[in-house]
Every structure is written in structure tokens, then in C-alpha cells.
């Protein structure tokens, strides 16, 4: 009798596939989140077998885990170009492979590393696949000073917002010292327009729309890992 893999095993299989993409001598962006963290162990195992790489972590949490596994780390100050970044996503749009990221709280650093990368590979399970972005919240990282004013400007774009809180009730603070507003816009008809509008609001540091950056997605399904490739005919910022 065939044994059905549980979601955790499926995510692990996708993470192991992504780790095989790393080649000797690469500078590798290391993502943040539950799925991205699964990549570190198979990567560390390959390093113990002789693989030589340098990792660029996208959060303090990832850096701590990577150090514990013996993965050599560096920064973009020393490596201006990243060969490959492997990360997770909260939503993946079919066709464009545009994604929403940041519900784990590291969107600014994740986007900085992704933007410096020759290739961005996303690892996700099939529940993250959407026809159009916006099924859930778009995280928006904002300056703490008068953040309520920034929130009102975001609401003027047609979205509701909620300040992300820690379990103790205080405001969640990113590694960069900012707050996060989780903003619900509903299905986003033009991700490119929303990207530009959010970028134009004073007080917004960054947001979780990653447009035109993803090259491949390793999607974990019951039958194994399905590799999705971005459609070249799609305007990624439309």
C-alpha cells in the first residue's frame, strides 16, 4: 500500500530538491520562514560532504540557524551579487510566479537579497498557489514614527490594515526596527499599480509584493515536487 506523505514531508521533499540546485562556489541567499528553514539542513549536509558555498541570510533567525549548522555566512557588502536565493512564499500567482512574502516578518531583507540575486527559487506547497495575488494580507513594513498616518494613506488605496502584534500584545518589530501592517486588498487586479502606489507613500519602507523576481518554484504536491517556470510572455509588473 502506498503511504501518503503528510504536508511536512512534502515541504521537506521540495526543500531537498531546492538544495540540489546549489553548486560549488556559489553565493547563496538563505530565506526566512518555516519552509525556507528546511533547506538549511540538506544544504549543511552537502557542505559536510565538501560543497563550498557562502550564505547570505535574510534574517537574524536564519543567520543563527545557519551558524548552528556550520554554514559559512557573509554579507552583500562583501558579495554584491548573489548567484541563487532560495526562499519560501505566502502566495504564488500562477503563470507570473509573482509572490507575496513577509508574513514571517523579514520582507525588507528578503527583497534586498532577492533583488541582488541572479536567480530566485521559491519553495512552497500547493496551498500557496493562487490565480491572483491578494487572497491573504500583503505585509507592509513601515517606520514606527506616526505609523497611524502611514496606515491611513494605505487605507486610501482601498485596503484595510492591522498592526502586527507580538504574542504579548506589543507591536512586532522587524530586524530593521520597523513595524508591519498586514493589509488586505482582496484579489489584486494590478499588482504593478499597487506596487507603485505603496512605494509612493512616505513612511512605507517596503512591502511584500515580489514582482518579476521569481525564476522557478518548487511546488510540493502529493505526487512529488512540480517545478514551475515563469511565463516569459507575461508582463510581471502589469
Rounded Cα distance, 81 and 54, in Å: 12
Start-to-end Cα distance in the chain: 47
Per-residue burial over 202-229, b if 16 or more Cβ lie within 10 Å, else e, is ebbbbbbbbbbbbbbbbbbeeeebeebe
Q: Catalytic: 197? A: no
Asked whether 182 and 165 are in contact (CB, 8 A), the reply is: no
DSSP 212: S
From 93, 110, 141, 206, active-site residue: 110
Residue 215 sits at φ, ψ, to 5 deg, of -95, -40
Rounded Cα distance, 49 and 47, in Å: 5
Asked whether 126 and 221 are in contact (CB, 8 A), the reply is: yes
Residues comprising the chain, all counted: 238
DSSP 70: T
Positions marked catalytic = 110
Amino acid at each position: 500500500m502506498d503511504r501518503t506523505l503528510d504536508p511536512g514531508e512534502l515541504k521537506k521533499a521540495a526543500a531537498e530538491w531546492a538544495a540540489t540546485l546549489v553548486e560549488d562556489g556559489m553565493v547563496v541567499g538563505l530565506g526566512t520562514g518555516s519552509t525556507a528553514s528546511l533547506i538549511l539542513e540538506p544544504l549543511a549536509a552537502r557542505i559536510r560532504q565538501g560543497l563550498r558555498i557562502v550564505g547570505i541570510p535574510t534574517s537574524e533567525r536564519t543567520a543563527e540557524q545557519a551558524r548552528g549548522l556550520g554554514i559559512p555566512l557573509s554579507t552583500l557588502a562583501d558579495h554584491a551579487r548573489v548567484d541563487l536565493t532560495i526562499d519560501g512564499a505566502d502566495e504564488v500567482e500562477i503563470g507570473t510566479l509573482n509572490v507575496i512574502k513577509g508574513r514571517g516578518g523579514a520582507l525588507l531583507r528578503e527583497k534586498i537579497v532577492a533583488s541582488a540575486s541572479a536567480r530566485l527559487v521559491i519553495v512552497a506547497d500547493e496551498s500557496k498557489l493562487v490565480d491572483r495575488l491578494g487572497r491573504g494580507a500583503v505585509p507592509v513594513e513601515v517606520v514606527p514614527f506616526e505609523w497611524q498616518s502611514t496606515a491611513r494613506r494605505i487605507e486610501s488605496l482601498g485596503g484595510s490594515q492591522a498592526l502586527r502584534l507580538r504574542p504579548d500584545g506589543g507591536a512586532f518589530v522587524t530586524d530593521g526596527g520597523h513595524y508591519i501592517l498586514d493589509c488586505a486588498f482582496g484579489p489584486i487586479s494590478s499588482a504593478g499599480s499597487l506596487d507603485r502606489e505603496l512605494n509612493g507613500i512616505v513612511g512605507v519602507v517596503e512591502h511584500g509584493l515580489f514582482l518579476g523576481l521569481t525564476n522557478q518554484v518548487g511546488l510540493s504536491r502529493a505526487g512529488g515536487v512540480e517545478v514551475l517556470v515563469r511565463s516569459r510572455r507575461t508582463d510581471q509588473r502589469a
